[in-house]
Structure 1
Amino acid sequence: MKLPVSTEWLLHCATTLAQLEPGATASAAQLADYYDLPAPYLAKQLQALVRAGVLAATTGPRGGFRLARPAADITLLRIVEAVDGAAPPYECREIRRQGRGALPPEDCRDACVLAAKMADAHRAWRDSLRGVTLADILGELPPTAPARTRSRLMAK
């Protein structure tokens, strides 16, 4: 499974926002500059996190984005699903019923074993991401990372 590049962007942006002082915000332009990303496209992607309740957005000269809830309440799965949706990446089209090798209908009453294994893998992947919060990620960063992030993000 290959996720769009915007997934990486938003995972990093959410982690960056989690490193800010409580109540502080960063604009889409600041985040885009920090990561050298196209600001208009990033702003559009950040809105997906606002719609999902991961981020809150404020307008005005001091406006920007901040976490909408504590970092301990935001899982990686929530961020990924905000960008990519929750649909499984594998879709069984029942090709075992086609062609010269077609199985009779009575042999296809149960789910295809390949589809079942792919569903198991997707479920395991989702469960893994559901078990990791932004607070967990922050806990694995070097202790100097938040201060460095804040100083570089707010420079300019």
Structure 2
Amino acid sequence: MRTGKGVEWAMHTLLNLAWSGGGEPVATAQLAAGHDLSVSYLNKLLQQLVKAGLLESVPGARGGFRLARPLVAVSVLDVVLAIEGDAPLFRCTEIRQCGTIGERCPDSSFSEPCAVKIAMGRAEAAWRQALAEQSLADVQAAADAHAPTVAAQVRQTLGRD
């Protein structure tokens, strides 16, 4: 299963907003500068997170983005769906019915769903379940345990200390 860089950017941004503390909005430019990210691309991702209900957009000179709900209420799957969408990862095109092999097989060979499609569907369901079972609070706790100073560094970088 592969996700684009947008999922990584979105997850780090959500974590950075949590670490920034206080619930005050943070400007896109500040969020992008913290990791040398493209402001315009990050802004597109932030808008997707707003649309998904994961962030709030605050207009004005002191505006920006802030978490719409606590990280414990946001699953990794929520972020993936917000950025990547809900389309299935595998699309069966029924190649089993194509070409010489397909022509030589009796019609009864295709009365059951494609075994490849079923196997890939099971794998995707397990992947989605694993993502759904992890909250961003779980990810934050793991990051805090691995790098205990990260929250302070984020606050300092975002001018929150």
Secondary structure, aligned partner of 1:35: coil
> Are the counterparts in 1 of residues 26 and 66 from structure 2 also a CA contact under 8 Å?
yes
Tell me, which stretches of 5 or more residues in structure 2 are unaligned?
A: none
Residues 12-60 of structure 1, C-alpha deviations (whole Å, 9 max, x = no match): 1111112121322211100110111111121111100000000011011
Return the alpha-carbon distance in structure 2 between the equivalents of residues 18 and 34 of structure 1: 14
Alignment-derived partner of residue 150 in structure 1: 155
Alignment-derived partner of residue 83 in structure 1: 83
Return the alpha-carbon distance in structure 1 between the equivalents of residues 2 and 76 of structure 2: 16
> Are the counterparts in 1 of residues 20 and 158 from structure 2 also a CA contact under 8 Å?
no
Return the alpha-carbon distance in structure 2 between the equivalents of residues 94 and 40 of structure 1: 40
Return the alpha-carbon distance in structure 1 between the equivalents of residues 51 and 107 of structure 2: 44
Matches within 5 A, 1:2-151: 2-102=2-102, 103-142=105-144, 143-151=148-156
Return the alpha-carbon distance in structure 2 between the equivalents of residues 32 and 85 of structure 1: 23
TM-score w.r.t. the length of structure 2 is 0.90
TM-score w.r.t. the length of structure 1 is 0.93
> Are the counterparts in 2 of residues 56 and 65 from structure 1 also a CA contact under 8 Å?
yes
Instruction: Tell me the matched-pair count.
Output: 155
> Are the counterparts in 2 of residues 97 and 104 from structure 1 also a CA contact under 8 Å?
no
- After superposition, the CA RMSD in angstroms is 1.3
Identity %: 39
Cα deviation, residue 2, structure 1? 2.7
> Are the counterparts in 2 of residues 18 and 134 from structure 1 also a CA contact under 8 Å?
no
